[in-house]
């Protein structure tokens, strides 16, 4: 029986997971990667790790940060506690290879935006090392969230993310080669594939750092020829334009509307919903998107102090953990 869940990773993935888990009746300890830069929060998370019945991780900006998080938390979990890893940047098998108890690692695949009322399907891929017991527990947990669990082969990105991120990458290549504006690209895909949203808007919602992380993971796994991330995506992430809020990185970032007279010229005579000319002036006055550079690789050695700290805590018995409200997840830095 899973009563207490530790969820760690990045928005908007963890917010949705936490809300779903809370609704299913679990007690949720939620940690966003932004908060884990403070040492005391990491200590807190480690304490929570010793008490939880399940650890859910969704950190996909790079394999290095995922490694850091999983390795550190897993070392503090009780022995039979399953680890659920959102396999976007690395396969469940690879994640398991970082763990002391690889048999408890189960991969899953969930992509934002998640409809909390109807969370839909979740991909399910136990690591090669996983045992039946962990898989059964993990499956039960996902089913309790209200998700339909679909078994897929284990690989970075699993199935849906692999297709979606390849489509997003292609859209960024097309944008980079200045063949069309971001709005036109999104519209072309929405109309031709009946996609629920355009690939660039989707990328903004997921976060461009995650998009880059996943494509790098795909390129590592399948070879660089097909999944090589578009140069523009790398530049955007380096510039700290990470999206997350729809419109921040691609659709409304001023450079695309102001510095491409080629599009403005070609579209000046277009009317109706495709008119770029009316969209351009607004974007000039937009507030700059929130800046956050790619997280630096965090050395595993950093965990040393916390690992011993955790042992200390477990000896003393459970300390009262700080419970984070899923609804207050954004801007919770101040609360801590």
Partner 1 sequence: MNLSIIGAGGIGRALAQVAVLAGNAVLLYDIDAATLQTAQLQIARGLEQSVNDGGVEFHKAAQARLLLSTAPTLEACAEADLVIDCSPEKLDVKKGVLGRLDQAADPKTLLAVQVETLSPSAIAAAATRHPQRVMGLHFFPPIESNPLVELIRIAQATPTLLDHLVDLLDQMDKKALLAPDQPGFLVNRLTDAYTAEALRMLDEGKLEAAALDRLMNTLGFPIGPFQLLDDLGLDTTLQAKLALYQGTDHEPRYRPSRTHRQRVQAGALGRKSGQGFYTYDD
Q: Interface residues with partner 1 (CB under 8 A)?
A: 111, 120-121, 123, 148, 150, 152-153, 155, 159-160, 162-164, 166-167, 169-171, 174, 179-180, 184-185, 187-189, 191-197, 199, 225-226, 266-267, 269-272, 274
Q: Which is nearer to partner 1, 11 or 152 (CB)?
A: 152
Q: Please state, in angstroms and rounded to a whole number, the distance separating the CA atoms of residues 332 and 336.
A: 7
Q: Which is nearer to partner 1, 128 or 309 (CB)?
A: 128
**Residues with Cβ within 8 Å of residue 140, at least 6 apart in sequence:** 2
Cis, peptide link before residue 12, omega less than 30° from 0: yes
Q: Which is nearer to partner 1, 153 or 331 (CB)?
A: 153
Least gap, CB of 90 to partner 1 (angstroms): 17
Q: What is the DSSP letter of 302?
A: G
Least gap, CB of 199 to partner 1 (angstroms): 8
Strand order in the sheet with 121-126: 27-32, 4-9, 54-58, 83-86, 105-109, 121-126, 148-151
Least gap, CB of 266 to partner 1 (angstroms): 6
Angle at 259 between CA 255 and CA 213, to 5 degrees: 35
Least gap, CB of 17 to partner 1 (angstroms): 17
Q: Which is nearer to partner 1, 48 or 204 (CB)?
A: 204
Q: Please state, in angstroms and rounded to a whole number, the distance separating the CA atoms of residues 24 and 27.
A: 9
Backbone angles phi, psi at 4, to 5 degrees: -130, 125
Least gap, CB of 120 to partner 1 (angstroms): 5
Least gap, CB of 334 to partner 1 (angstroms): 35
Report which secondary-structure segment, H or E, holds 149. Answer: strand 148-151
Q: Which is nearer to partner 1, 128 or 180 (CB)?
A: 180
Q: Which is nearer to partner 1, 19 or 267 (CB)?
A: 267
Least gap, CB of 75 to partner 1 (angstroms): 32
Q: Which is nearer to partner 1, 195 or 319 (CB)?
A: 195
Least gap, CB of 175 to partner 1 (angstroms): 10
Q: Which is nearer to partner 1, 163 or 328 (CB)?
A: 163
Q: What's the Cα-to-Cα distance from 259 to each of 10, 187, 233, 279, rounded to whole Å?
A: 32, 21, 17, 14
Sign (positive/negative) of CA torsion 193, 198, 200, 203? negative
Q: What is the DSSP letter of 159?
A: T
Report which of 214, 219, 169, 183 is spatially closest to residue 13, judged by C-alpha positions. 214
């Amino acid at each position: 029986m899973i009563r207490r869940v530790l969820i760690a990773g990045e928005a908007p993935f963890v917010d949705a997971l936490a809300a779903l888990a809370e609704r299913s009746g679990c007690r949720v300890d939620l940690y966003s990667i932004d908060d884990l830069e403070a040492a005391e929060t990491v200590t807190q998370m480690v304490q929570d790790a010793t008490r939880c019945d399940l650890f859910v991780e969704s950190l996909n900006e790079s394999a290095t940060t995922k490694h850091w998080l999983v390795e550190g938390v897993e070392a503090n979990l009780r022995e039979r506690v399953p680890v659920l890893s959102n396999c976007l940047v690395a396969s469940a098998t690879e994640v398991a290879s970082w763990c002391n108890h690889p048999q408890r690692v189960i991969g899953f695949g969930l992509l934002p935006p998640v409809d909390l009322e109807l969370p839909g399907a979740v991909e399910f891929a136990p690591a090669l090392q996983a045992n039946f017991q962990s898989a059964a527990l993990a499956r039960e947990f996902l089913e309790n969230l209200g998700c339909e669990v679909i078994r897929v082969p284990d690989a970075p990105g699993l199935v849906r993310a692999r297709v979606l991120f390849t489509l997003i990458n292609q859209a960024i290549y097309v944008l980079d080669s200045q063949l069309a504006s971001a709005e036109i690209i999104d519209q072309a895909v929405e109309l031709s594939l009946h996609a629920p949203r355009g690939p660039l808007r989707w990328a903004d919602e997921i976060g461009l750092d995650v998009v880059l992380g996943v494509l790098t993971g795909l390129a590592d796994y399948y070879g660089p020829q097909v999944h090589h991330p578009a140069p523009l995506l790398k530049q955007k992430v380096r510039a700290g334009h990470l999206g997350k809020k729809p419109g921040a990185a691609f659709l409304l970032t001023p450079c695309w509307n102001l510095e491409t007279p080629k599009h403005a010229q070609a579209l000046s005579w277009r009317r109706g919903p495709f008119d770029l000319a009316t969209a351009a002036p607004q974007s000039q006055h937009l507030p700059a998107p929130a800046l956050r550079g790619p997280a630096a690789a965090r050395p595993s050695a950093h965990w040393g102090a916390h690992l011993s700290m955790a042992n200390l805590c477990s000896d003393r018995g459970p300390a009262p953990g700080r419970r984070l409200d899923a609804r207050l997840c954004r801007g919770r830095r101040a609360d801590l």
